[in-house]
């Protein structure tokens, strides 16, 4: 897409799943034309591997910068923009994707540590990243320009038992996103949210503290979305004409019609 040529895109949580797929999808969509990708996550080794894989696939037409960043650490987020090399600092698109779920505990059994990491990552981290990048956007003409793409979830719209904290974090993302869009109404900045249903990534492995068998059971008999499916939507919304804001998108696999409405074939 011509519209994405020359853009600088920052993706949080690019070491796995949806964020990783977004990196590949942006690169495949704009293999030449000066795209710059800033890939961030805690596991920087993985980001370096992804950067090398993108280089193998599309060549030098896309510049990829891996940056270690824990979005749950406010000090790291505060230093993030200043730490970028000059040629990657003129950010056009922020994909706030980093996020996680820990456990399926119900109150009053929810571990404080799990509660804190979910809020600090999914909510405070996303808000801090947004506040770190917005001054770059606001410095542009017409009150500012740039794209914020927040990855929410069906869980933010339909809370379920055993997911109270995760669902609360995603409801918070939704409220923040909708208020921010209003706050930026006089600018050219686009604020967009994409809410996936079931996507097979490392999400459930993280939820079950590394228990792969439990994670696999989540998807048994289902035909979940792939992270590439969601990445295609992310790149689509970023590539629309500047006056088009795909504000709010819910994406399900065919067998799903709500957080708890899932058809299993076996």
DSSP 8-state code for residue 185? T
Candidate list 7, 102, 170, 208, residue with the active-site label: 170
193 closest CA partner among 119, 245, 258: 245
Is 166 labeled as catalytic in the residue annotation?
yes
Residue 18 C-beta: closest distance to ligand NDP, Å: 4
Q: Of ligand NDP, ligand 8X3, none, which one does residue 80 interact with (CB within 5 to 8 Å by kind)?
A: none
Complex with ligand NDP: residue 145 or 251, whichever CB lies closer: 251
- Nearest approach in angstroms of CB 121 to ligand 8X3 is 13
Nearest to ligand NDP of 41, 115 (CB atom) = 41
Q: Which spans of this chain sit near ligand NDP (rule: CB under 6 A)?
A: 12-19, 41-43, 69-72, 97-100, 121, 125, 151, 153, 196, 198-199, 201-203, 206, 227
Q: Respond yes or no on whether the N-terminal peptide bond of residue 108 is cis (omega within 30° of 0).
A: yes
> What ranges in 84-163 are assigned the alpha helix state H?
112-118, 126-138
- Please, how many CA atoms are within 13 Å of residue 57, restricted to the half-sphere of its CB? 18
The kind and range of the H/E element at 146 are strand 145-151
Judged by beta carbon, residue 4 or residue 234, the one nearer ligand NDP is 234
Q: Which two tokens stand for residue 264?
A: 């299993």
Tell me, yes or no, if 208 is annotated catalytic: no
Q: Using CB distances below 5 to 8 A depending on partner kind, what does residue 95 bind out of ligand NDP, ligand 8X3, none?
A: none
- Residues whose CB falls within 8 Å of the CB of residue 141, separated by 6 or more in sequence, listed in order: none
How far apart are CB 15 and ligand NDP at their closest, in Å? Answer: 4
| Catalytic residue, candidates 7, 36, 102, 166 | 166
Find the shortest distance in angstroms from Cβ 102 to ligand 8X3.
12
Cα dihedral sign, 200-211-106-126: negative
Please report, as ranges, the residues that interact with ligand 8X3 according to CB under 6 A. 153-155, 163, 166, 259
CA–CA dist 87, 89 (Å, integer) = 6
Q: Could you tell which of ligand 8X3, ligand NDP, none binds residue 227, using a CB distance below 5 to 8 A set by kind?
A: ligand NDP
151 vs 153: CA distance, rounded Å: 7
Please identify every residue annotated as catalytic: 166, 170
């Amino acid at each position: 897409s011509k519209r994405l040529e020359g853009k600088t895109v920052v993706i949080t949580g690019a070491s796995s799943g949806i964020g990783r797929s977004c990196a590949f999808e942006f690169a495949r969509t704009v293999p030449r034309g000066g795209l710059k990708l800033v890939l961030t996550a805690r596991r920087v080794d993985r980001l370096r591997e992804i950067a090398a894989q993108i280089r193998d696939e599309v060549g030098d037409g896309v510049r990829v910068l891996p940056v270690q960043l824990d979005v749950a650490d406010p000090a790291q987020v505060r230093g993030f923009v200043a730490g970028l090399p000059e040629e990657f600092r003129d950010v056009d698109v922020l994909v706030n994707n980093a996020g996680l779920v820990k456990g399926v505990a119900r109150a009053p059994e929810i571990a404080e540590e799990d509660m804190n990491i979910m809020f600090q990552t999914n909510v405070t981290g996303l808000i801090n990243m947004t506040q770190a990048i917005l001054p770059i956007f606001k410095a542009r003409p017409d009150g500012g320009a740039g794209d914020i793409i927040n990855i929410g979830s069906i869980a933010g719209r339909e809370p379920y038992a055993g997911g109270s904290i995760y669902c609360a974090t995603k409801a918070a993302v939704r409220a923040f996103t909708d208020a921010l869009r209003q706050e930026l109404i006089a600018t050219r900045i686009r604020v967009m949210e994409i809410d996936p249903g079931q996507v097979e990534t490392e999400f459930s492995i993280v939820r079950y503290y590394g228990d792969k068998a439990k994670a696999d059971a989540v998807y048994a008999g289902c035909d979940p979305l792939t992270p590439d499916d969601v990445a295609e939507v992310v790149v689509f919304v970023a590539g629309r004409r500047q006056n088009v804001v795909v504000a709010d998108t819910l994406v399900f696999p065919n067998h799903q019609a709500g957080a708890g409405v899932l058809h299993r074939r076996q």
